[in-house]
Amino acid sequence: MQHPIEILERYWNHTSFRPLQEDIINAVLNNDDVFALLPTGGGKSICFQIPALIKEGICIVVSPLIALMKDQVNQLNQKGVKAMAITSGVSYSELDTLLDNCIYGNYKFLYISPERLQQDLVKDRIQQMNVNLIAVDEAHCISQWGNDFRPAYKNIALLRQLHPTVNIIALTATAKPKVVEEVVKELDFISPQIFKASFSRPNIAYMVLDTDDKHYKVEQILKKHQGTSIIYVRNRKSTVEFHSFLKSKGFSSTFYHGGISPKDKEERLEQWLTNQKEIMVATTAFGMGIDKADVKTIIHVNLPESLESYYQETGRAGRNGEKAFAVILKNKTDEHQLKHQFLGTLPTIDFIKQVYRKLCNYFQISYGEGTLTDHQFNFNEFCKTYEFNSMLTFNALQVLDRNSIIALSQQFSYQSKLQFIVSNQALFSYLETRGHLEVIVKTIMRTYGGVFEHLLKIDTKLIATKSSSSEDEVINTLQQLKKDEVVDFQFSNTDSELIFLQPREDDKTINRIARIVEQQNELKVQQIQAVINYINNIDECKNKQLLHYFGEKSTKPCGICSVCISKEKKSKVADTKTLTKHIILLLENEPLTSRAIIEQLPFDEKQLLNTLKLMVEHQILSITSTNTYKLKHT
């Protein structure tokens, strides 16, 4: 048997393990059931990948995150390791072939979603495989009190019945003690080896800063702490807006969200990873599975939806061990907005029932039918048809998706398809009498090489740009070609695909998940309150607050968070006389704004503002027309 360090050197080019990794790997190789709680950046995947490479057979990896599955499979394939991921959109015959390859094709890793374990074909083929390990990623999803509980995770216990002698490793980055206990119980661990890395990140300075001008504050932070940064914002529109603002201020910035094309995503990620662009403005989905060691600053422009997600997102900073900063910016309206966005839009059971009934009607699903039928889904049109609130409806669909009533795939790209079904010669004969179609047709031929041989996905916007036409002109042309039986054109103007996973039973379908939904709503209320408590607690060290939330005791303040620094600043304030003296010395050179004075003096902000007010009242200072403070005698 090869030694783990040999595998690490051969495939990962590292000569030493991170904390706990080797102990976890040895426990797995010893056939123990293992629970590994390693914070973001702790190298969880290596903990199951190395033992699986050492042992004979294939490792089954269960994960709910399609993007992460694909990323890990690509990385393994690049290392010369045979791995595959079975995601949505795979036909039955294709699934049959892929599973056969896992049995007979010397594959080392099979990544699947927990929902796949409901399929008889999948269970039957896994039973035939020589399974050497079962890895459960994002294991907190098993617990009803875990962040993002998914009932389909309960199916994982079936793998124990299919392979009773194979051990399991469960991995997660964030889990409170109650969640760990439930995961161990649900997976039927016997004498489990539990490894918990500390949640403490001594090199990260956790900051919560009050500001009425978040744009200015971001600019100020980035100038002070130069280096690779991620700025998290709430929505797509804000990514573009903040990127434009930073660009106007001379920063090297790009932006990333779910709505941009895969090509643009890849290009922008590469620019950021290679430091061609220093700052990434993104929605919170960005960063999962990305291991960039030199991230200096992470700024949350809006309040996070939970401390679990906040902890994961901030864990993308300071992986090189150097000092890094995790900043939340808040103002007076943020708490209300947080509650409105995440609690005000929690769907009730009655509303979920209503959405489900309308969804079945919308796609003309008869009672008792609909199982595994898939449909192109235009979300905005659906909401408009039934006059539903879009945010509330989206959350209701997410509940149905998470509880395996439907599968909702948000593609964010129009999946129109095209193939020419006449010969090249016949096509040119056709165009001789229809010259107005020629430019668009020739553009398609030059853009899509195999369009005569295969049904290809096409981008109507790209064709419009290249042919100097409007997108409507392109679509009308293609529909005319289809009518004239020149092409096979499948037009899709939807950005989602929806699959019904259960037969329609209206209220009965929803009643089965009602208790889980209500419990998840209760958990969301608790999570939002925890965030509010965290940002408003100005007495206790921020690092200690986070550790306490995750069930870890700490008595020593970190010394670098916003609370610790504030206490240090307060201790430096002797009296108003001392502050007055420092302000006068500072203003002798030039008039300054209150912001500039606060930045340059190491004292408490409120006390400085009060002193400035007193100095104006006593006519020591005056305020200029440009809102700067000036000494009266200068």
Tokens 């929605």, residue? 283
Residues 146 and 178 in one domain: yes
In a domain, 460, yes or no: yes
Contact 228, 263 (CB under 8 A): no
pLDDT confidence of residue 573 = 56
Contact 316, 41 (CB under 8 A): yes
Burial status of residue 450 (CB atoms within 10 A of its CB: 0-12, 13-18, 19 or more): exposed
In a domain, 529, yes or no: no
Residues 380 and 457 in one domain: no
Write down the mean pLDDT value for the chain. 89
In a domain, 295, yes or no: yes
If you ran DSSP here, which 8-state letter would residue 152 be given?
Answer: G
Contact 297, 314 (CB under 8 A): no
Confidence of residue 234 (pLDDT cuts 50, 70, 90): confident
CATH of the domain at 409: 1.10.10
Residues 467 and 511 in one domain: no
Residues 425 and 399 in one domain: no
In a domain, 357, yes or no: yes
d(CA 439, CA 436): 7
Contact 144, 131 (CB under 8 A): no
pLDDT confidence of residue 412 = 42
Residue 80 CA: distances (Å) to CA of 7, 175, 248: 13, 33, 44
pLDDT confidence of residue 208 = 96
Average pLDDT over residues 31-52: 90
The pLDDT tens digits of the residues spanning 449-495 come to: 888 888 888 888 789 888 998 888 888 899 899 999 999 888 766 55
pLDDT confidence of residue 545 = 95
Per DSSP, the three-state class of 409 is: strand
Residue 104: closest CA among 139, 129, 136, 86: 129
pLDDT confidence of residue 470 = 87
What backbone phi and psi angles, to 5 degrees, belong to 172? Answer: -160, 160
Residue 625 CA: distances (Å) to CA of 231, 249, 341: 34, 24, 40
In a domain, 288, yes or no: yes
Biggest CA-to-CA distance, the chain: 93
d(CA 35, CA 517): 27
pLDDT confidence of residue 92 = 78
Handedness of CA 540, 525, 297, 546 (dihedral sign): positive
pLDDT confidence of residue 634 = 55
pLDDT at 336 over 90: yes
pLDDT at 570 over 70: no
DSSP bridge partners of 330:
210
Residues 512 and 596 in one domain: no
Average pLDDT over residues 329-333: 93
d(CA 520, CA 147): 9
Confidence of residue 520 (pLDDT cuts 50, 70, 90): confident
Stated length of the chain: 634
Residues 320 and 261 in one domain: yes
For residue 452, the one-letter residue type is: F
- What percent of the chain has pLDDT above 70? 96
C-beta atoms surrounding 250 within 10 Å: 9
pLDDT at 496 over 80: no
Residues 162 and 20 in one domain: yes
Q: How many domains does the chain have?
A: 5
CATH of the domain at 102: 3.40.50.300
The pLDDT tens digits of the residues spanning 60-85 come to: 999 987 778 888 999 999 999 999 99
Confidence of residue 118 (pLDDT cuts 50, 70, 90): confident
pLDDT confidence of residue 584 = 92
pLDDT at 144 over 80: no
Contact 156, 137 (CB under 8 A): no
Residues 90 and 174 in one domain: yes
Final residue in a domain of this structure, among 312, 331, 350: 331
Per DSSP, the three-state class of 40 is: coil
The predicted model scores a pTM of 0.74
DSSP bridge partners of 326:
206, 298
For residue 417, the one-letter residue type is: K
Low-confidence winner among 47-51, 266-270, 419-423, 496-500 (lowest mean pLDDT)? 496-500
d(CA 3, CA 240): 49
| Range picked from 66-70, 217-221, 416-420 for highest mean pLDDT | 217-221
- Write out the residue range of the structural domain in which residue 121 sits: 4-196
d(CA 522, CA 527): 9
C-beta atoms surrounding 209 within 10 Å: 17
Average pLDDT over residues 19-29: 94
Final residue in a domain of this structure, among 306, 331, 356: 331
Confidence of residue 413 (pLDDT cuts 50, 70, 90): very low
In a domain, 214, yes or no: yes
Average pLDDT over residues 397-404: 89
In a domain, 336, yes or no: no
Dihedral Cα 258, 294, 207, 281, nearest 10 deg: -30
d(CA 166, CA 158): 12
Confidence of residue 89 (pLDDT cuts 50, 70, 90): low
d(CA 416, CA 457): 6
* Better-predicted residue by pLDDT, 304 or 595: 304
Residues 18 and 58 in one domain: yes
DSSP bridge partners of 194:
35
Token pair belonging to 589: 């050179």
Residues 391 and 425 in one domain: no
d(CA 620, CA 336): 40
In a domain, 564, yes or no: no
pLDDT confidence of residue 88 = 65
pLDDT at 414 over 60: no
Residues 9 and 50 in one domain: yes
pLDDT at 388 over 90: yes
Final residue in a domain of this structure, among 196, 228, 246: 196
Residues 463 and 512 in one domain: no
- What percent of the chain has pLDDT above 90? 53
Helices 21-29 and 44-54: angle between axes, nearest 10 degrees: 40
pLDDT confidence of residue 177 = 87
Confidence of residue 219 (pLDDT cuts 50, 70, 90): very high
For residue 9, the one-letter residue type is: E
pLDDT at 237 over 70: yes
pLDDT confidence of residue 407 = 84
Q: Give the distance from CA 325 to its chain's centroid.
A: 20
